[in-house]
């Protein structure tokens, strides 16, 4: 990894992409420290203090702390992620969207346009929920005009963050959406460390509990790297064929099927879906005794139910992404057209069924591993009575984003070598 970074640093194009990515992320962090107009910061701080420690903390972490200060980026990129989930599900259900997805770049741009429309609708919903629900009491003195301006700024901030994410993906390094979430998560780490330090100072937090949690986090990092690199190689043999005076084929290769083919996206999407009930409860203040967030956070049954739902969602999205990324029917068709076959398996439908069977088993193993790695830190923090602002999902996202970015760097360097070879 370090060797790849050293080589990449010498390439002008890679440096430009790196600087652009850093610039966008710096702008994002600055925006998280700029409050929206017409707010009373002290009343806002008091209102957030009353709900701190609930699932709102998790939403706040995903927005890089913007929700607690009601910054211009308070909604973060969550509306866009939720919109992407909706559009991908609709692509499977609505034939017209499925046709657009197969029309190449033009079709994808049209779907992207629809995704932005849905993002705006969700941003409007969440902005109204925050200004009239979560912080309704703190903003009770605001006039109608001031409330409208607040909502417009919040919605505009979301669209700006969405544009930044898409632009990073196009002109920077890595997946822009994942990197923005990554920045929000790592921004919460110092806060957690400060809490632990304060707890140790006042003897409310055990050093042993911190050491155990640190070991768990290290183990999760190692496990995530292991899962990300794990793959099943399906051997492929190409039949020999004569074209004119030349003979083609006869070589052997393989299809690599990753244990975790979808990366961190199942966890990101599961987090977005789990945020929906919390967002709806914001309309009602989000901090009542009977609120959704209080139920999931303060009751044992609610906590267990939350972990079960989170695990199921990770499994569902892992299989969903697997179906999108690895089309076994298309693979089998391409192999048949090019004279390739899996040894011992007939071409066509039997090959497709074989690949689907292997992919299903591997995806099951990978998704179960992701689910376990996600819930273990949450269970450990509850048993150890250790306050953390991040969970297993956050650690997995951070490690996964780093791995994906490094892999993109490696791919860019490989392409650079090929270009240099062809230009000789």
What integer pLDDT is reported at residue 24 of this predicted model?
92
Q: How far apart are the first and last CA of the chain?
A: 28
What integer pLDDT is reported at residue 163 of this predicted model?
93
- Scanning the structure block, which residue is given the tokens 């609505």? 94
Please give, one letter per residue, the 3-state secondary structure of the chain.
Answer: CHHHHHHHHCCHHHHHHHHHHHHHHHHHHHHCCCECCCCCHHHHHHHHHHHCCCCHHHHHHHCCCHHHHCECCCCCCHHHHHHHHHHHHHHHHCHHHHHHHCCHHHHHHHHHHHHHHHHHHHHHHHHHHHHHHHCCCCCCCCCHHHHHHHHHHHHHHHHHHHHHHHHHHHHCCCCHHHHHHHHHHHCCHHHHHHHHHHHHHCCCCCHHHHHHHHHHHHHHHHHHHHHHHCEEEEEEEECCEEECCEEECCCEEEEEEECCCCCCHHHHHHHHHHHHHHHHHHCCCCCCCCCHHHHHHHCHHHHHHHHHHHHHHHHHHHHHHHHHHCCHHHHHHHHHHCCEECCCCCCCHHHHHHHHHHHHHHHHHHHHHHHHHHHHHHHHHHHCCCCCCCCHHHHHHHHHHHHHHHHHHHHHHHHHHHHHHHCC
Distance, CA of 266 to CA of 269 (rounded, Å) = 5
Distance, CA of 97 to CA of 173 (rounded, Å) = 29
Angle at the Cα of 40 from the Cα atoms of 34 and 46, rounded to 5 degrees = 100
What integer pLDDT is reported at residue 152 of this predicted model?
95
Distance, CA of 83 to CA of 116 (rounded, Å) = 8
Which CATH number does the domain housing residue 233 bear? 1.10.3370.10
CA dihedral 162→166→169→175, nearest 10 degrees, is: 40
Report yes or no: 121 and 80 within 8 Å, Cβ to Cβ. no
Report yes or no: 64 and 187 within 8 Å, Cβ to Cβ. yes
Distance, CA of 34 to CA of 226 (rounded, Å) = 40
For the chain, what is the domain count?
1
Which residues have C-beta within 8 Å of that of residue 144, sequence separation ≥ 6? none
**With the C-alpha atoms ordered 385, 389, 395, 399, is the resulting torsion angle positive or negative?**
negative
Distance, CA of 111 to CA of 87 (rounded, Å) = 8
Distance, CA of 191 to CA of 26 (rounded, Å) = 19
**With the C-alpha atoms ordered 384, 187, 72, 405, is the resulting torsion angle positive or negative?**
negative
What integer pLDDT is reported at residue 284 of this predicted model?
59
What integer pLDDT is reported at residue 247 of this predicted model?
58
In terms of residue numbers, what domain contains 307? 2-422
Cβ density class 368-382: b for 16+ within 10 Å, e for less? ebbbebbbbbbebbe
Sort residue 241 into left (φ over 0), alpha (ψ -120 to 50) or beta.
Answer: beta
Distance, CA of 389 to CA of 188 (rounded, Å) = 7
pLDDT in tens, the chain (424 residues): 667 677 777 778 888 888 999 999 999 999 988 989 988 888 887 777 766 555 566 677 777 778 888 899 988 888 898 888 888 878 877 888 888 877 777 888 888 889 999 999 999 988 988 888 778 777 878 888 999 999 999 999 999 999 999 999 888 888 888 889 888 888 878 877 888 888 888 888 888 888 898 898 888 888 888 888 888 888 888 876 655 666 555 677 888 888 887 777 788 778 777 777 766 666 555 444 445 666 666 677 878 888 898 889 989 888 888 877 777 888 888 888 877 888 888 888 888 888 889 888 888 888 898 888 888 888 888 888 776 666 667 788 888 888 888 888 877 777 766 555 445 5
Which residues have C-beta within 8 Å of that of residue 218, sequence separation ≥ 6? none
Distance, CA of 71 to CA of 34 (rounded, Å) = 5
Distances (CA, A) of 214 to 18, 217, 388: 30, 5, 12
Token digits for 17?
A: 């992409």
Token digits for 299?
A: 């009751």
């Amino acid at each position: 990894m370090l060797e790849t970074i050293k080589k990449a640093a010498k390439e002008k194009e890679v440096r430009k992409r790196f600087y652009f990515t850093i610039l966008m992320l710096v702008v994002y962090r600055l925006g998280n420290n700029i409050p929206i107009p017409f707010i009373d910061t002290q009343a806002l701080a008091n209102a957030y203090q009353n709900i701190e420690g609930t699932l709102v903390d998790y939403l706040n972490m995903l927005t890089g702390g913007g929700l607690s200060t009601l910054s211009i980026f308070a909604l973060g990129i969550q509306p866009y992620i939720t919109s992407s989930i909706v559009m991908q599900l609709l692509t499977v259900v609505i034939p017209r969207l499925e046709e657009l997805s197969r029309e190449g770049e033009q079709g994808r741009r049209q779907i992207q346009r629809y995704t932005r429309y849905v993002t705006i609708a969700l941003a409007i919903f969440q902005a109204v929920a925050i200004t009239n629900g979560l912080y309704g009491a703190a903003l009770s003195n605001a006039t109608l005009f001031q409330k409208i301006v607040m909502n417009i700024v919040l919605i505009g901030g979301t669209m700006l963050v969405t544009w930044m994410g898409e632009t990073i993906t196009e002109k920077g390094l890595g997946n822009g959406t994942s990197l923005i979430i990554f920045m929000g998560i790592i921004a919460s780490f110092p806060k957690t460390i400060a809490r632990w330090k304060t707890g140790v100072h006042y003897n409310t937090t055990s050093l042993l509990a911190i050491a155990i949690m640190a070991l768990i986090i290290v183990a999760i990092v190692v496990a995530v790297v292991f899962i990300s690199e794990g793959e099943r190689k399906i051997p492929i043999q190409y039949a020999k064929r004569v074209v004119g005076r030349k003979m083609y084929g006869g070589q052997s290769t393989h299809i690599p099927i990753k244990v975790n083919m979808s990366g961190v996206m199942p966890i990101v999407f599961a987090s977005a879906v789990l945020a929906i009930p919390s967002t709806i409860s914001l309309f009602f203040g989000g901090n009542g005794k009977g609120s959704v967030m209080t139920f999931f956070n303060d009751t044992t049954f609610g906590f267990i139910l939350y972990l079960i739902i989170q695990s199921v969602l990770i499994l569902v999205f892992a299989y969903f992404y697997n179906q999108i990324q690895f089309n076994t029917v298309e693979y089998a068709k391409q192999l048949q057209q090019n004279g390739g076959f899996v040894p011992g398996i007939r071409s066509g439908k039997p090959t497709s069924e074989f690949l689907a069977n292997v992919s299903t088993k591997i995806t099951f193993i990978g998704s179960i591993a992701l689910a376990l790695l996600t819930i273990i830190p949450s269970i450990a923090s509850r048993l150890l009575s250790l306050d953390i602002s991040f969970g297993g999902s956050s650690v997995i996202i951070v490690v996964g984003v780093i791995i994906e970015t490094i892999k993109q760097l490696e791919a860019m360097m490989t392409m650079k070598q090929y270009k240099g070879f062809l230009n000789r």
